[in-house]
Structure 1
Amino acid sequence: MKKVLFTVALMLTACLAQAQVSVVKEAKSNKSKPEEAAKILEPALTNSETAGDPETWKLAGDFQKSIYDEENMKLFLPGGKADTTKLYNSLAKMYDYYLKCDEAEQSKVKSGELKKPKYRKKNAEVLAKLRPNLTNGGSDYYNNGNYEKALKFFGMFVDVVNEPIFEENQVVKQDTLIPLISCYATLAANSLKDNKAILKYGAIGKNHKDEGYRALMCLAEVYGNKETGDSAKWLETIKEGSEKFPKQEYFVGNIMDYYIQKGKLDDALNQINSLIAKNETPYFLYVKGIILYEKKQYDAAIAEFNKIIAKNAELVAEAYSKLGDCYFFPAQTIVEENSKLAIGDAKYTANEAKIKDLYLKAKPLYEKAKQLKPDNKQLWGNYLLNIYWKLNKAEYEALEKELGY
């Protein structure tokens, strides 16, 4: 009984195999109708008897190429309108199928069934020629907010250079666009919060001389995550960004914040001085002023903030606010001291005069910041309120009402 059943099983297997071979033949006979042929061939792509045959995948890729060519031609015809979804889907499938064809061929070469690949050269030529269009697909999807598809196409453009099918194609392997497209892949991955892809493509994209800062920013955000990040790698990435892209405020601001929080003010000052020596921007001067302020070197800080005002470019309102801080906060130290003294103490009276003098110096600076940026109350609001309370109750009441207190 078992022998009979075994024989029946062999017959069924043989019939199934023949059926899949028949599917391949039928698909071949319909190659003039590539979309129909592609559907006919689908079962053969998952059947063990035909999926290991390079020809199956070659045919599948050829059908997709025909679909792609037909849609692509419409782009060059007067009034022609291509179905871009079909165009890019067929391009992606073509890549997938030709690569599987090469994989199947290599398997047969390794086993000795084939002496050398039969389809590799032609398939490689086709894929290399159409590879730039992967970036077009990625760009279209990215601009339309389909970041998953954008990542797929940008990622494919980058990843295929490591495929064996291109091992002898130095033009592809040494493509100078790889870092740039890796940046785009990183941005798409960032929109998807796909940290694994960010780390993968960011490591390549960060090397682009102009756009690499984008990849580094994405990497820094991943490493800077309080729950899943890596503080050592975050610092390493921020330092790399500040060195490679000193004009990008993101890196300079982060590294300076780090130094200040860690109390490494001299390190911060040395680094910002080296940046200013190369490029004296208002932002760098502002950062230097803050560092000097943190070091309580108020006269030096005032000099830096005045340089920003003299440039009359950006951060002028912020510079006036920080100038006010250089007088207001030293006054607060004296206010704190006076809180511990008796009102009749001679030192208390002397301190009150110092506080008033410092407030009088800070007052017009905060008022100028308010004039320049009336909506940014953080620059001047509570500071002026404190000053008016001390100097002028009418101004205090008016500002209190304006602030909605």
Structure 2
Amino acid sequence: MKKVLFTTVLFLTACAVSAQESVVKEAKSAKSDPVKAAQIIEPALVDPSTANDPETWKLAGDFQKAIYDEENMKLYLPGGQADTSKLYNSLVKMFEYYTKCDEVEQAKVKSGELKKPKLRKKLSKTLATVRPNLTNGGSDAYNSGNYANALKFFGLYVDAAENPMFEEEDAVKNDTLTPLIACYAALAANSLNDKDAVVKYATVGKSHKEEGYRALMCLAEAYGKGENPDSTQWLATIKEGTERFPSQEYFIGNLMDYYIQKGRIDDGLTEIDQVLAKNETPYFLYVKGVLQYEKKDYDAAIATFNSIIAKNSDFVAEAYSKIGDCYFFPAQVIVEENSKISMDDPKYAANEAKIKEYYEKARPNYEKAKELKPDNRQLWGQYLLNIYWKLNKAEYDALEKELTM
């Protein structure tokens, strides 16, 4: 009985192998219709009896190449209407199938089943020729919000540069465009919250001289958010960004926030002075003023904010608001003190006078911020309301009504 069962199993296995070989033959006979042939051969790509044959993958790639060539030709014909979805889909599959073909063939060479690869040179040359079109497919997908497809296209482009299959293809191996496309891959991965892909592609993309900052931003986001943020890697990435792209506000702003949170104000001031020595912008001056404010060096902060106002460029409303803060918040310390002493205490009256003095100095600065940016109520809203409550009840009523509208 055991012998009969064993024979049956062998028979069924032989039938399965024969069936998949038949699928390959049927696909070959349908090659004049590559779309149909591509559908026919699909089962052979997952069955071990045929999937371990490099010729199976080459044939599947050939069908995709035929589909791609047909649609690509329409782009150059007068009045031609190419199906770009079909075009780019076949391009991706061609890349995947030819790459898999090389992988299977190399495995057979390594095992001794084949003496040397026969297909790599031709396939790598074919893929090197069509590879630039992956960027077009990626751009179309990204612009339409299909970030998964964008990542697939851009990723294939970047991955090719490290694939041994292309070691003799200088156009791929020495492609200076690779870091730029890696930036785009990182952006797509960031939109998908795919941390692993962000790290993979941003690590390549950050080397691009002009656009590398985008990759570093994505890398910082990946390390800084999620269930398991990596504060060490985040800080290293932010610092790398400030060094390599000192004009990018994102890195300086985040680094200064870090110094403030950690109470390392002096470290922040030292670093921002170094930045300002190379590139003085209103934003970087504003950052310095905020650090001085956090240090409670109010006179120095006011001087820095006034230098921003004098430039009459960006961050003027913010500078006026922070000057207001330099008077308003010291007043709050006195308000807190007065809440703990008797109104009959002579110090209470002296404190009240000081509060009003600070409020009078803060008031015109918040009002100027309101004039410049009436929609940004965070700059002036509650502060002015508090000041008007103390100084002018009519103005308080009017502003309270405005803020509730």
Common topology (TM > 0.5): yes
Distance 1:343 1:52, change over 3 A: closer
**Which residue of structure 2 aligns with residue 259 of structure 1?**
259
**Which residue of structure 2 aligns with residue 249 of structure 1?**
249
Q: C-alpha distance in 2, partners of 1:224/1:113? A: 49
1:304, CA displacement in angstroms?
A: 0.7
**Which residue of structure 2 aligns with residue 403 of structure 1?**
403
1:151, CA displacement in angstroms?
A: 1.0
Distance 1:40 1:363, change over 3 A: closer
1:72, CA displacement in angstroms?
A: 0.3
1:18, CA displacement in angstroms?
A: 3.5
1:46, CA displacement in angstroms?
A: 2.8
Q: C-alpha distance in 1, partners of 2:341/2:8? A: 106
Q: 2:95 is aligned with what amino acid?
A: Y
Q: C-alpha distance in 2, partners of 1:113/1:387? A: 86
Q: C-alpha distance in 2, partners of 1:289/1:67? A: 61
Question: For residues 114-172 of structure 1, what are the alpha-carbon distances to aligned partners after superposition, in whole Å with 9 as ceiling and x for unaligned?
Answer: 22111111101001111111111111111111111111111111112222311233331
**Which residue of structure 2 aligns with residue 220 of structure 1?**
220
1:348, CA displacement in angstroms?
A: 3.3
Q: 1:17 is aligned with what amino acid?
A: V
SS of residue matched to 2:161: helix
Question: For residues 298-334 of structure 1, what are the alpha-carbon distances to aligned partners after superposition, in whole Å with 9 as ceiling and x for unaligned?
Answer: 1111111111111111111111111111122222223
**Which residue of structure 2 aligns with residue 79 of structure 1?**
79
**Which residue of structure 1 aligns with residue 150 of structure 2?**
150
Residue identity over aligned pairs, in percent, reads: 72
Q: 1:37 is aligned with what amino acid?
A: A
1:10-89 superposed matches below 5 A:
10-89=10-89
Query: Does residue 332 in structure 1 map to residue 369 in structure 2?
Result: no
1:4, CA displacement in angstroms?
A: 4.3
Tell whether the 8 Å contact from 2:125 to 2:169 is kept in structure 1 after alignment: no
1:188, CA displacement in angstroms?
A: 1.1
Residues 63-72 or 293-302, more deviating:
293-302
In the alignment, structure 1 segments of 5+ residues that lack a partner are none
Residues 377-386 or 349-358, more deviating:
349-358
Residues 390-399 or 367-376, more deviating:
390-399
1:344, CA displacement in angstroms?
A: 4.2
**Which residue of structure 2 aligns with residue 294 of structure 1?**
294
**Which residue of structure 2 aligns with residue 126 of structure 1?**
126
1:385, CA displacement in angstroms?
A: 2.0
Tell whether the 8 Å contact from 2:61 to 2:93 is kept in structure 1 after alignment: yes
**Which residue of structure 2 aligns with residue 104 of structure 1?**
104
Distance 1:144 1:226, change over 3 A: closer
Distance 1:5 1:374, change over 3 A: closer
Superposition RMSD in Å: 2.0
**Which residue of structure 2 aligns with residue 270 of structure 1?**
270
**Which residue of structure 1 aligns with residue 168 of structure 2?**
168
Q: 1:265 is aligned with what amino acid?
A: I
Q: C-alpha distance in 2, partners of 1:8/1:383? A: 88
The normalised TM-score by structure 2 is: 0.94
Q: C-alpha distance in 1, partners of 2:380/2:8? A: 90
Q: Which runs of 4+ in 1 moved over 4 A?
A: none
Tell whether the 8 Å contact from 2:147 to 2:191 is kept in structure 1 after alignment: yes
**Which residue of structure 2 aligns with residue 180 of structure 1?**
180
Tell whether the 8 Å contact from 2:363 to 2:387 is kept in structure 1 after alignment: yes
Residues 140-149 or 30-39, more deviating:
30-39
**Which residue of structure 1 aligns with residue 238 of structure 2?**
238
Q: C-alpha distance in 2, partners of 1:229/1:82? A: 45
Tell whether the 8 Å contact from 2:259 to 2:268 is kept in structure 1 after alignment: yes
SS of residue matched to 1:271: helix
1:5, CA displacement in angstroms?
A: 4.4
Q: C-alpha distance in 2, partners of 1:197/1:322? A: 40
1:203, CA displacement in angstroms?
A: 1.8
Q: C-alpha distance in 1, partners of 2:235/2:339? A: 42
Q: 1:185 is aligned with what amino acid?
A: A
Q: C-alpha distance in 1, partners of 2:135/2:230? A: 32
SS of residue matched to 1:162: coil
**Which residue of structure 2 aligns with residue 321 of structure 1?**
321
Q: 1:139 is aligned with what amino acid?
A: S
